[in-house]
Structure 1
Amino acid sequence: MKKLLLSMTLFAVTLSFAAEYEDCWFYASRSLNNDQHVVELKELLETAAKSHYNGMLLACGLDTYGKWDAARKARLAEVKRLCDANKIELIPIIWSIGYGTMLGYDRNLVAGLPCIDVPYVVKGDTATIVQEEIAPLPNGNFEEYEGHAFKINGWIDAPGKRSFVDTDVKAEGKASIRLENFAEDKHGHARVCMLVKLKKNRQYMVSCKIKTEDFVGSNSVKIQLYTLKGDSYCAYEPAIEPTQDWKEYKTYFSSGDKEESRLYLGTWGAKAGKVWIDDVKLEEMGVTNIIRRPGCPLTVKVADSDRVLVEGQDYEPVPAAKQLLPANPEPPLVLKLTPAANLKDDTKLLISYYHPVRYGRWQFTTCMSEQKVYDLFRQSAREIKEAINPKKWFLSMDEIRAGGTCAACVARNTDMAHILADCIIKQRQFIKEVAPDATIYIWSDMLDPAHNARASYASCKGSFEGVWNMIPKDIVISCWYHLKRDISMPFFENLGFKTQGAAYYDVDTLDTSREWLETCNKTKNCTGIMYTSWRNKYKLLADFGNMVHENQKPLK
């Protein structure tokens, strides 16, 4: 009888152990540039340790660990010690192509979009841009209206209900557009849409002036460009204060192969208050914001001839832009010619070059076709291994919104799916070189046909379709799109991948997290779930861990 009871007890213990997920993580982002970050992480780790967590996914800029000073490295060592003391595994999240990995070493590794045959004219020993006429935006200053309806080539949300003519508050002229009553629309939409005419392969700047009063809606004011098919290829989120006086905002974009686009300005997800917009302008930029790297060549040719000028021989070397899309753009390039150029006045030149594209407020994408990026990845893997010796590594390969457009990408004669897969395979290789037994995780969206793995994604040229069949099956896919969780998790499961659920995302309850756990519980070979906060909201950290502990039912 005692043997039977002992066997039953051991069996129950085994079942209990088997019923726990391998991963119960939380996400934290701290640069470790000051001691307070260590204090904050210590508090989170202590809470997590009491709430059944076993891992912390830490974003701290480890990509450029080789550039860190001694104090920052010491803080990381202390965080590693705190993790070990609390029995919380430290997992580094690294190498975000979509958010500019390795640009800290060389900003010219940014993805480049082409401007082709920008006209210049020779005068003496210089060549300057030929200012081509561009039609002003019809009624971009909101001066023409009837009632609360503005006369534009496009449309405006809910005139007289959420959008209004305001002749009392304006940046200039006699009127502006006022947006309010956002709660009347379930999406918080109050937008202006204008059809704009463009020239192919040119760089443009959109500017406008914005004023607010008691505005509620974090990151909900946007300036966006859409193709006529409805695909977004430029999205800028200006830094808006709840109440501010008139302030000018600027963003930049490349027309690519488009001769028309839809320009959107206004709110998405706004809650309350008022927003005024005035003085909307569209301007061609000329040759500026120049990227200089092998895959982004600068070409100067003489119009109506086969002659291509040689840099350093026919004209002085052209430097790269000092910043990636500064608030106030550098003036167009003035090309300084040498006597060897031997060009007469009024000779027409055509300049082709590459420039970066920004998404959101500060997102820049790194090029996946430049060899220097991979040299830096290999170096980074060695440094991370030496610094914290992780057993699990996380590839931050989400939201890759530019690529396939520079000369280095085009020369590969393939699509974005193969370019991305090749990058991931190499990242895995570099990790396995220093940590052969490492488990590697990756964000799901760029591999998921229900999410971002598709054609016509942002400013990318080519399709990501099929990439899910090209990457090694030993990489764990961390799915994060809540509304698609019951499509995405089975999709990767059926392909033979292990999965993970990235839940929470800064809401005020655990309702969506419970839904995520239900999906995890019915997905075979799911490694677990993560408390994922982008806004440092950790009020529910303990409750989330306890909820997972009490309701987890891993399906093997």
Structure 2
Amino acid sequence: MKIFTSSIILLSILLLGNNSLKRSSEFEPMINEPVFELDDISIDNNVRGMQIVANLALDSAEDLLALVDRAKAKGANTIFFADSKTNIFGINGTAGAKWDQEMKAFSDGVRARDMDLIFMTTVMGFCGSLIGDNPDLTTGYPIKNQELRAENGELVPVNSSELFNGDFEDYSGNLVTDWGFQDAPGTRTFIDTQVKRSGQASFRAEGKGGESSRIFTTFKVVPFHQYTLRFWVKTENLTADNLLALIRDEDNHDRELTSLQLSTTRKDDGGRSYFKSPNQLTLDWTEVRIAFNSLEAIRVNLALAVYGGTTGKIWWDDVEILDTPALNWLNREDLPKSVQFQNGSPLDFGVDVAVPLDTKLGFSGYPGDFDTQHAPPKIQIINNGKIKEGDIVTINGYHGLPTAAGQVSCSWNNPETYERMRQVHQSLQDTYQPDGFLLNYSEIRTGGWEPADADNFTTSGAALAQSIKVAFEDLFEIAPDGQFYFWSDMVDPNHNANAFYYQVKNTLDKSWLTLNADKVTIANWWETVDIPEKAAASLQFFSDKEFKQIVGAFYDSDVNVNYDRWQQAAEGVEGIVGNMYATWTADGDFTKIEPYGDLWWVRKEVQNQIVSLSAPEEVTPRETYSIEVVHEAEAASDIVVILQLNESPWTNYGAARVPVVSGSNTVTLDFQVNEDIPLAEGAYKWTAFSTPSGLDWEEQTGIVIQAGVSCIPEQVFEDSLTNLIVPAQVSPGESYTISVDYSASETQRMVAYLQLNRSPWSDYGYQSFEVQSGADKATLEMTMPDSLPTGVADYKWVTYLTPIGGNWANNVALLEQTGIDVLAASALRTSVQNLNGLTMYPNPAGTTVTFESDLELQTFDIYSNEGRLLKQLTANKESAIDVSDLTNGIYIVVTTLSNGKKLSGQLIVQH
């Protein structure tokens, strides 16, 4: 996210938190950990850019050129430069002698270093500086028939809305009367009768456990009226992810009517200081006024909300809703305004009513600074006797709408907006001859409601596309040989080009249609945290439309993680020609130029290359895994694999090394994970690299990283046997398949045999084999000896687990199945078979086998002779099962009774 305030471009920092897990000293830290060698990456580096945002009225060209030198030393070839003064250069002269001198020195210095200079201009979404001397050029929002009453020579707004119990005087315990949902009353939200601004009570919310502490209400409004929500807050050491008054259309929660943040008075100039993520914030009672347009809403959903609160308290009191039609009133020829009696009889501005004039419009602390905190201007009646005391009139017009941290957009398609942009670009081109321009149409959060947009275009996307078209047509004419760039977000359906983006009128779909792919390069940006889920689709979208692209990289995050994620997102995408080191902190973070340059800008000769790395996505402490590495080597070398954290600090939770000869090789390394690795989801990465034989990481080449590896707890297996599937009838000389599910805590010996269920001790078909630690199914092929006595119905199948070298007396798990019949071989081939109360016929079966029983049956399961489940059916007292799809052979039928007992028998299928 890019944020421009106080005439200087700023950004809210998204820092990926450092992990405090301890570092192993077995391997030294690798300073740079690229995922791919630069000759084999998805993103080309023809454009090797660095963004510099400065204020040359205060900064010096010498200091900025020192940054340029550091970037150039690492291979950069392009500087993207922004200064609030370049956004208005040439409109009202220059920014002063000092700025002119420093700007010339900087521009000449970049050229002297044989680098391209790209001016970043027209900050359309944060355009306070461009319209500072004419704030009426901000985007307008319509007011329709908002009522006013004549009182003492003025037209005073008539209340058209009411918020009940905003002073919190009515309550029951900690529940607020006439409000709606309330988070955790008595735990995180309270009625406070000790601390209050007025009356006898206030509403208190506390930050606890990272949870939400909110209260909701709804109130009626009239469409297309401007209102101001006024309230008072007091805080004590409040820390939370987000603090806001959330104002939405009750019937369409996707439509936020404003996103303006809470604010306090700025001490230096009286403007507003906005905040949304308080950190140990303590305020005395402070008045906050947030204006919004109801748009199509007839009911508003309001939440006084603390999100992700961890510590501290906030008190809310005296919440009310005010009609404020004249606040930030706009007076432009292309924005119609009217006033009339309630019955529709017309009145005239300038004759009957003075034109509203808000002298604080766009001048909160300095020119171009907007707010909704100030009181709206009075609307004066011109004393000609036409309007009488108490008369009701209605007013129509447009007002400006600051949002977020007080930002405003320029009127998208106003001719003067076009003219100002053209004048700025022409002046910069004439004075400095830059190599190109980046048109800064980013995060345009208001607009689309003016007649030039709403009346001439069916969607806001089409209206914005027209503004983009005109701006670039002028640029192409002014700088016919220039390079042209455009931030991606407002023309990307995967980003901001969709419906209900902040307070834009409707969908921004198709806003990209007027961009010229032959001339304009897309500067595709995402914050690092969003790259994995969103960047690939975004890059592919523009590639499919044949745009060249550069990526806005770094974004004040871990350089290696950011690089890794961009490379993965760009895999297989054509037309990505470069990158930009972009920092958005208030003072700019240029401490990462060198490691960034090593990854993005410097090309290395690749002598040894890791082609691919195949490693598990989940590991457990102390476990050993097989890691497969495909490698190309020009000479004998070593392959090293390390398991470490995705981010700083450098760590090592295991390492393996194997020598390889020259040529293409696939090697497998046995890798044991360290015992001290902390459990964490997706926090680790496999790093594989090549190094000359016997040398360490300093000579590494061909690095490949597999990120997103989780460390999970070791699975504990208890010794057990379950689900023994055996035939209920056997015969001498016949072979049978039995299966049993087992869980073993360590390597054990499994034993299985058929035995008489009485003395003397016996075993038939005895088998013994080892099973490894874990859980699995054991399937055995057992042949009954010819000496097996027949005609006896008192056998049992026996299976048990015992330690290696142990016997039955040492068993750790035992499972038996009794009631087994031993019949002569011919008996198993009769057409009717009885399995302890279950009759199965015919057997052998051709196409159908029938089961009959008086027992309570649940399911029939038919298994292959190898123990694989083939059919599972719900059982009835008489069931016919189609076996025509089974090939000729012997199958095991397992019937589960309602008490859980299982009966099994052998089914022969012969078609």
Q: TM-score, normalised by structure 1?
A: 0.86
Aligned mates of 1:485, 1:401 — CA distance in 2: 21
Match of 1:477 among 495, 503, 522: 522
Quickly say closer, same or farther: Cα 1:39–1:276, change in 2 above 3 A.
farther
Match of 1:290 among 290, 304, 329: 329
SS, match of residue 484 in structure 1: helix
How far the C-alpha of 1:420 sits from its partner, in A, is 1.0
Conserved? CA contact 2:550–2:579, under 8 Å = yes
Structure 1 residue aligned with 2:538: 488
Q: Which amino acid aligns with 1:448?
A: D
SS, match of residue 194 in structure 1: strand
How far the C-alpha of 1:103 sits from its partner, in A, is 1.2
- After superposition, the C-alpha distances for 1:302-361 in whole angstroms (9 at most, x for unaligned) are 3324x433333444444354323546433453333253x745555432211211111112
Structure 2 residue aligned with 1:153: 179
Structure 2 residue aligned with 1:375: 419
How far the C-alpha of 1:161 sits from its partner, in A, is 5.2
Quickly say closer, same or farther: Cα 1:134–1:160, change in 2 above 3 A.
same
- After superposition, the C-alpha distances for 1:135-178 in whole angstroms (9 at most, x for unaligned) are 2344x334455565544533234445554554544434334312
Q: Which amino acid aligns with 1:287?
A: A
Conserved? CA contact 1:143–1:176, under 8 Å = no
Structure 1 residue aligned with 2:261: 237
Structure 1 residue aligned with 2:653: none
Quickly say closer, same or farther: Cα 1:448–1:159, change in 2 above 3 A.
farther
Match of 2:402 among 350, 358, 364: 358
In the alignment, is residue 176 of structure 1 matched against residue 203 of structure 2? yes
Structure 2 residue aligned with 1:193: 216
Match of 1:110 among 124, 138, 158: 138
Structure 2 residue aligned with 1:547: 599
Q: Which amino acid aligns with 1:59?
A: A
How far the C-alpha of 1:378 sits from its partner, in A, is 1.4
Conserved? CA contact 1:521–1:552, under 8 Å = no
Q: Which amino acid aligns with 1:52?
A: G
In the alignment, is residue 119 of structure 1 matched against residue 169 of structure 2? no
Quickly say closer, same or farther: Cα 1:152–1:70, change in 2 above 3 A.
farther
Conserved? CA contact 2:371–2:402, under 8 Å = no
Match of 1:94 among 110, 113, 121: 121
Match of 1:59 among 68, 82, 85: 82
Match of 1:424 among 468, 479, 492: 468
SS, match of residue 347 in structure 2: coil
Match of 1:49 among 66, 72, 75: 72
Question: Counterparts of 1:368-517 in structure 2 under 5 Å?
Answer: 368-473=412-517, 474-481=519-526, 482=531, 483-507=533-557, 510-517=560-567
Structure 2 residue aligned with 1:304: 343
SS, match of residue 601 in structure 2: helix
More moved, 470-479 vs 500-509: 500-509
- After superposition, the C-alpha distances for 1:440-490 in whole angstroms (9 at most, x for unaligned) are 111111111112112222222232112233322132222223341011000
Q: Which amino acid aligns with 1:542?
A: E
- After superposition, the C-alpha distances for 1:206-260 in whole angstroms (9 at most, x for unaligned) are 1233333444458x32233222322223112223573332322221110011111
Question: Counterparts of 1:210-225 in structure 2 under 5 Å?
Answer: 210-216=233-239, 220-225=242-247
Identity %: 23
In the alignment, is residue 209 of structure 1 matched against residue 232 of structure 2? yes
Structure 2 residue aligned with 1:6: none
Match of 2:581 among 507, 531, 541: 531
Aligned mates of 1:130, 1:22 — CA distance in 2: 60
Greater helix fraction, Structure 1 or Structure 2: 1
More moved, 318-327 vs 442-451: 318-327
More moved, 146-155 vs 71-80: 146-155
Aligned mates of 1:531, 1:499 — CA distance in 2: 14
Aligned mates of 1:426, 1:55 — CA distance in 2: 26
Quickly say closer, same or farther: Cα 1:326–1:459, change in 2 above 3 A.
closer
Structure 1 residue aligned with 2:883: none
Aligned mates of 1:245, 1:515 — CA distance in 2: 44
- After superposition, the C-alpha distances for 1:26-53 in whole angstroms (9 at most, x for unaligned) are 333223221x354552443233223332
Quickly say closer, same or farther: Cα 1:255–1:93, change in 2 above 3 A.
same
SS, match of residue 300 in structure 2: strand
Q: Which has the higher contact order (CA 8 A, sep 6+)?
A: 1
Quickly say closer, same or farther: Cα 1:237–1:346, change in 2 above 3 A.
closer
Conserved? CA contact 2:422–2:474, under 8 Å = yes
Aligned mates of 2:185, 2:388 — CA distance in 1: 56
Quickly say closer, same or farther: Cα 1:379–1:449, change in 2 above 3 A.
same
Aligned mates of 1:86, 1:143 — CA distance in 2: 69
SS, match of residue 145 in structure 2: strand
In the alignment, is residue 31 of structure 1 matched against residue 83 of structure 2? no
Aligned mates of 1:137, 1:470 — CA distance in 2: 49
Greater strand fraction, Structure 1 or Structure 2: 2
Aligned mates of 1:17, 1:520 — CA distance in 2: 9
More moved, 481-490 vs 167-176: 167-176
Quickly say closer, same or farther: Cα 1:315–1:82, change in 2 above 3 A.
same
More moved, 254-263 vs 164-173: 164-173
How far the C-alpha of 1:199 sits from its partner, in A, is 1.6
Q: Which amino acid aligns with 1:475?
A: V
More moved, 166-175 vs 367-376: 166-175
Q: Which amino acid aligns with 1:297?
A: P
In the alignment, is residue 337 of structure 1 matched against residue 382 of structure 2? yes
How far the C-alpha of 1:85 sits from its partner, in A, is 4.3
How far the C-alpha of 1:496 sits from its partner, in A, is 1.2
Conserved? CA contact 2:355–2:379, under 8 Å = no
Aligned mates of 1:398, 1:79 — CA distance in 2: 26
Q: Which amino acid aligns with 1:387?
A: T
Where in structure 2 are there 5+ consecutive unaligned residues? 1-37, 263-273, 363-369, 606-911
Q: Which amino acid aligns with 2:229?
A: V
SS, match of residue 496 in structure 2: coil
Quickly say closer, same or farther: Cα 1:167–1:514, change in 2 above 3 A.
farther
Quickly say closer, same or farther: Cα 1:344–1:284, change in 2 above 3 A.
closer
Structure 2 residue aligned with 1:21: 45
Conserved? CA contact 1:198–1:255, under 8 Å = yes
Aligned mates of 1:396, 1:415 — CA distance in 2: 21
Quickly say closer, same or farther: Cα 1:28–1:368, change in 2 above 3 A.
same
Conserved? CA contact 2:356–2:377, under 8 Å = no
More moved, 252-261 vs 272-281: 272-281
Q: Which amino acid aligns with 1:221?
A: L
Aligned mates of 1:552, 1:227 — CA distance in 2: 56
Quickly say closer, same or farther: Cα 1:211–1:302, change in 2 above 3 A.
closer
Quickly say closer, same or farther: Cα 1:51–1:290, change in 2 above 3 A.
same
Q: Which amino acid aligns with 1:336?
A: I
In the alignment, is residue 323 of structure 1 matched against residue 361 of structure 2? yes
Where in structure 1 are there 5+ consecutive unaligned residues? 1-13
RMSD: 3.1
Structure 2 residue aligned with 1:263: 302
Aligned mates of 1:54, 1:162 — CA distance in 2: 54
